[in-house]
Structure 1
Amino acid sequence: MGKRVLIVDDAAFMRMMIKDILSKNGYTVVGEAENGNVAIEKYKELKPDLVTMDITMPEMDGIAAVKEIKAVDPAARIIMCSAMGQQAMVIDAIQAGAKDFIVKPFQPERVIEAVSKALV
């Protein structure tokens, strides 16, 4: 079985895109969440090997969710996803404990590179 991934993004279309890229490359998508609150619950429940986390979401943003997940599991592996022009947020995310970030629109090669690096 491939590495288990939780996808967090408020846009169903983006979740579908990442899921498609990961599935084609041997990863198992074990869950999806549409905001940070759901992400934390799903993380505790599913204990994935990796999380892809959108930064800008309703209810709880990705950076707050990273901090919460890291508090629950300091070894959590999280990759941030952001649109262009969110560099300051990306720095916050890395400081919060994210391993890497990928920029939307997603380049499949870059997604796989970030995921495989984070899982080493």
Structure 2
Amino acid sequence: MKKRILIVDDAAFMRMTLRKMLEDAGYDVMEAPNGGEAVRLWKETAPDLATMDITMPDMDGISAVRAIKVLDPNAKIVMCSAMGQQSMVVEAITAGAKDFIVKPFQRERVLKTVGNALG
């Protein structure tokens, strides 16, 4: 059975870029444009992993990680950050994220990080 991944990012282009990489690698992909929607989808679908942008409207990625970890303490979440967000990445890891990938996305790094987090 295919692993299900939830991509959470307010930028449609970033979601599309990640979706293509992950679907090409054989994953089943869902999308959410913000943290609030990510929490709702996690409750409904319990994906195997989420990629989570840090800076989003409605609910930021760090708040979403905390909310998802309350729902599912074993949730696997990989943060997506732009350069210069190191302190926020540390906060996200402390909140329960497994790892992070830096934008712009590099296919090999994305697939390695996702594979490790799922492994």
Q: Do both share a fold (TM > 0.5)?
A: yes
**What's the CA shift for 1:46?**
1.1
Give the letter for the 2:115 counterpart: S
2:11 aligns with 11
1:2 aligns with 2
Q: Which structure 1 segments of 5+ residues have no match?
A: none
1:25-104 matched pairs, under 5 angstroms: 25-29=25-29, 31-104=30-103
Q: Which structure 2 segments of 5+ residues have no match?
A: none
Identity %: 65
- Deviating above 3 A after TM superposition, structure 1's stretches of 4 or more consecutive aligned residues are none
CA displacement, residues 59-97 of structure 1 (integer Å, 9 cap, x when unaligned): 110000000000000000000001000000000000000
- Please give the TM-score of this superposition, normalised by the length of structure 2: 0.98
Output the aligned Cα RMSD.
0.6
